[in-house]
Copies of this chain bind each other. A is one copy, B any other.
């Protein structure tokens, strides 16, 4: 069940007319600050505002007609949910999305806009799983995991194909790690094309299960995540962990301050909206924690969905 470059290339052919070819942005100011050349792959500007559109679209496209007509179901902290809802809508099939009742309202609204049925559950991973299972039993819909699924991982890996096409001479890639779907796909693609390019995962110190898991050689669950980066609070899956062990050069952990500073700097300088999780790939560089002089660094900005009423540097206006 090992993911291959061929899977990822096939996924790209399959989905490329249904997703945005996202831009790679650069900034003289941020290059100067980092002492390196930075190439921001803007998946926050992707359909549904996150790279998750890639994996979900690939997974739905791969269903047989028989499977497809029963619909799809998932549990997700947000962006995969919107992505699956959109992919299902494009194929004209039902989508059921289990979300924890604590998820930001903006993410619930986004999923509903795509016509999916949202089922809220208690804010625990166990409740997500059992609720999704009951939907499968009731509807016969196909479960599409947010990350631990080769179809999804292959779709996410298409990000790297585009980035490398635009910037062939990268030396490093920084990529946020939550469940590991994105970095799995990216690292398989990158190492298959050019093993000299280093691939680093980045995760919050308050949700450093990937760093712990790599050190321990087995999956360490993320039991009490404490980070503003709500998309990175999950635990690695068996399939994603396997690819990460095989291909990723290391995991960098970042503080909450670095995450917020990275987010705000991207807003101010690149003039684009990233959510906290989406800015994590840039967080090791924003305050100089990681010094990579002269390198050519690809940074994946993963998503831009957040509630604009509760930015980390502000308090909400009184109604």
Contacts and interface: CB of A to CB of B under 8 A. Distances in A.
B317 A317 contact: no
Interface in A262-312: 264, 267-268, 270-274, 304, 308-309, 311
A314 interface: yes
A318 interface: yes
How many copies of this chain sit in the oligomeric assembly? Answer: 2
Q: Which residue of A271, A309, A313 has the most chain B CB atoms within 10 A of its CB atom?
A: A271
A315 B315 contact: yes
Nearest to A278: B271
A72 to B, nearest CB: 20
Contact of A45 (B29, B267, B271): B271
A49 B271 contact: yes
Contacts of A267: 273, 308
A316 interface: yes
A29 B113 contact: yes
Q: Chain A: interface residue count, which band?
A: 20 to 34
Contacts of A62: none
Contact of A309 (B29, B271, B314, B317): B314
A272 B45 contact: yes
B308 A317 contact: no
A69 to B, nearest CB: 24
A66 to B, nearest CB: 28
Interface string A23-66: 10100010000000000000011000100000000000000000
Interface of A: 23, 25, 29, 44-45, 49, 106, 113, 264, 267-268, 270-274, 304, 308-309, 311, 313-318
Closest 4 CB pairs of A and B: A271-B304, A271-B273, A315-B317, A314-B317
Given A44-B271, A264-B308, A272-B273, 10 more contacts: A29-B113, A45-B270, A45-B271, A267-B308, A271-B274, A272-B272, A309-B314, A313-B317, A315-B316, A315-B317
6 contacts: A106-B268, A271-B274, A272-B272, A272-B273, A314-B315, A315-B316
